[in-house]
Amino acid sequence: MNRSTLAAYLDRIGVSRPQLIDAASLRALHQAHQRAVPFENLSIHLGEPISLAAGDLLDKIVTRRRGGFCYELNGAFALLLEALGARVTRVAARTAGRDGRLGPPFDHLALIVSTTDGTGPWLADVGFGSHSTFPLLLDRRAGQDDPGGRFLLADTAEGDVVVSKDAAVQYQIERRSRALADFSPTCWWQQTSPDSHFTGATICSRLTGEGRISVSGETLIRTSGGVRTEQRLHGAAEVLAVYRNHFGIILDRVPGRSVS
Known catalytic residue at 125:
yes
Vertex 59 angle, CA 108 and 52, to 5°: 30
β-sheet bridge partners, residue 137: 122
Active-site residue (options: 30, 33, 125, 131): 125
CA distances from 212 to 42, 106, 174, 176 (A): 18, 26, 29, 32
Q: How many CA atoms lie within 13 A of 60 on its CB side?
A: 27
- The side-by-side arrangement of strands in the sheet containing 168-173 is 136-137, 122-124, 108-114, 87-95, 168-173, 161-165, 149-155, 144-146
| C-beta separation of 239 from 254 below 8 A | yes
Phi first, then psi: what are they for 39, rounded to 5°? -80, 120
The answer to whether residue 108 is catalytic is yes
Please identify which of the residues 70, 131, 160, 187 carries the catalytic annotation: 70
Considering the candidates 108, 131, 160, 204, report the single residue annotated as catalytic: 108
Q: Considering only CA atoms, which of 232, 230, 234 is closest in space to residue 221?
A: 230
**Positions marked catalytic:** 70, 108, 125
